[in-house]
């Protein structure tokens, strides 16, 4: 090999190591799903784990067969960006929301939405479904949290209290409480059925980019800057003293079904796996060439899906504990 070719090879290796992918990531990266033509902002596994929904700035929701890794269906879902997608607990339907302020409900095997909810006058950025599948929560740019009855197909609540965009929603395990996290550095915990704010939690002025509850439903987790994750007890709403090794800004997070691992995506392009008890970083992988924005864990806990600014969805094998 000539000196010029050697130099080119070294540059290529350096680009792979430092320019967006790390070669070490290939061990746990299962597949890359390509099809979106713009940023991917949301991913969600079906309760059965056989399907994966992805959505993004191209206005589409795409449904993938997880086993074959093939695209099964594409919906031209919204006018403008699709910012959120969620399955109901029974897997009978999924909902999407976007910049057009609408929430649409889809039968996974049908071509058209089964219901459309004009949820907000501005962009909807996050969704959550109650544990019994009876209610959808939606929130976003106009700072309010809206609750919709899936059965009755009517709006039942509008909760006001935030002073900036809302980026995260999570129902408690029993469905009686709803948490909403915002750019204003607060998490409002609502008795949503009576429209009462139970408590306002502070993240120390750090923006909340996402919320999820632990697998046992006992704790609420916020994705924020600094430590990356902050935790509260769902019953008492007391903060948990948790340190996640200076993880930096977490864009989104999820938990494995057995509760033994948290998974987060970060501004440094990393997909990180954590011990939720001690905050120990278990593994970190890189594969996306641009910022990952969303993450989901399969119902059996073996597979993680991430979506990113690079227009791709990646599947990862969850590291063994």
For residue 10, being part of any structural domain is answered with no
If one compares 225 and 202, the residue with the highest pLDDT of the two is 202
* Token digits of residue 294: 């969303």
Quote the CA–CA distance of 133 and 147 in Å, as a whole number: 12
Q: pLDDT digits over 138-173, tens only? A: 999 999 999 999 999 999 999 999 999 999 999 999
- CA-closest candidate to residue 213, choices 165, 273, 169: 169
Structure tokens at 138: 């939606």
pLDDT the model gives residue 168: 97
What is the pLDDT, as a whole number, of residue 27?
60
Domain for residue 23, yes or no?
A: no
- Percent of the chain at pLDDT > 70 equals 92
Q: Is residue 13 part of a domain?
A: no
Is 69 a residue whose pLDDT tops 90?
yes
What does the block give as tokens for 199? Answer: 């408590």
Condensed to tens digits (0 to 9), the pLDDT of residues 80-116 reads 999 999 999 999 999 999 999 999 999 999 999 999 9
Domain membership of residue 3 (yes or no) is no
The whole-model pTM stands at: 0.90
CB < 8 Å & 24+ apart, contacts of 284-287: 285/22, 285/24, 285/25, 285/27, 285/28, 285/29, 285/316, 286/20, 286/21, 286/22, 286/24, 286/25, 287/21, 287/22, 287/25, 287/26, 287/29, 287/32, 287/314, 287/316
- Rounded to an integer, the average pLDDT of 186-204 is 96
CATH number of the domain bearing residue 101: 2.130.10.10
Is 25 part of a structural domain of the chain?
no
Structural domains counted in the chain: 1
Per the domain annotation, does 6 fall within a domain?
Answer: no
Write the pLDDT tens digit of every residue in 248-291: 899 999 999 999 999 999 999 999 999 999 889 999 999 999 99
Domain of 177 in residue numbering reads as: 30-317
What confidence tens digit (pLDDT) does each residue in 282-296 have?
999 999 999 999 999
Q: Let me know if residue 286 belongs to a domain.
A: yes
Question: What is the rounded CA–CA span in Å between residue 250 and residue 195?
Answer: 29
Residue 179 has pLDDT above 70, yes or no: yes
Q: What percent of the chain has pLDDT over 90?
A: 85
Q: Which long-range contacts (CB under 8 A, 24 or more apart) does 66-75 make?
A: 66/298, 66/303, 66/315, 69/31, 69/33, 69/315, 71/33, 71/35, 73/108, 73/111, 74/35, 75/106, 75/111, 75/113
Q: Is position 4 within any domain? A: no
């Amino acid at each position: 090999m000539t000196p010029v070719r050697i130099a080119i090879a070294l540059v290529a290796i350096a680009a792979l190591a430092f320019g967006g992918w790390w070669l070490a990531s290939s061990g746990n990266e299962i597949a890359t799903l390509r099809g979106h033509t713009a940023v991917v902002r949301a991913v969600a596994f079906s309760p059965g784990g056989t399907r994966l929904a992805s959505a993004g700035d191209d206005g589409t929701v795409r449904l993938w067969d997880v086993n074959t890794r093939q695209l099964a269906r594409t919906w031209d879902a919204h006018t403008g960006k699709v910012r959120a997608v969620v399955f109901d607990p029974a897997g009978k339907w999924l909902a999407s929301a976007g910049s057009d302020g609408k929430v649409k409900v889809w039968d996974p095997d049908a071509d058209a939405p089964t219901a459309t909810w004009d949820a907000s006058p501005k962009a909807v950025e996050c969704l959550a479904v109650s544990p019994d599948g009876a209610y959808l929560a939606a929130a976003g740019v106009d700072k309010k949290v809206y609750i919709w009855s899936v059965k009755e197909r009517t709006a039942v609540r509008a909760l006001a209290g935030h002073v900036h965009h809302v980026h995260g929603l999570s129902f408690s395990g029993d469905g009686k409480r709803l948490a909403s996290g915002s750019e204003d550095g607060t998490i409002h915990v609502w008795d949503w059925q009576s429209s009462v704010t139970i408590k306002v939690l502070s993240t120390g002025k750090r923006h909340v980019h996402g919320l999820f509850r632990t697998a046992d439903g006992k704790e609420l987790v916020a994705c924020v800057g600094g430590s990356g994750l902050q935790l509260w007890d769902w019953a008492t709403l007391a903060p948990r003293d948790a340190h996640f090794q200076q993880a930096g800004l977490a864009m989104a997070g999820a938990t494995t079904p057995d509760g033994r691992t948290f998974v987060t995506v970060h501004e440094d392009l990393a997909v990180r796996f954590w011990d939720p008890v001690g905050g120990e970083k278990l593994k970190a992988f890189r594969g996306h060439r641009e910022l990952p924005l969303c993450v989901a864990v399969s119902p059996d806990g073996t597979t993680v899906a991430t979506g990113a600014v690079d227009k791709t969805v990646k599947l990862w094998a969850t590291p063994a504990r």
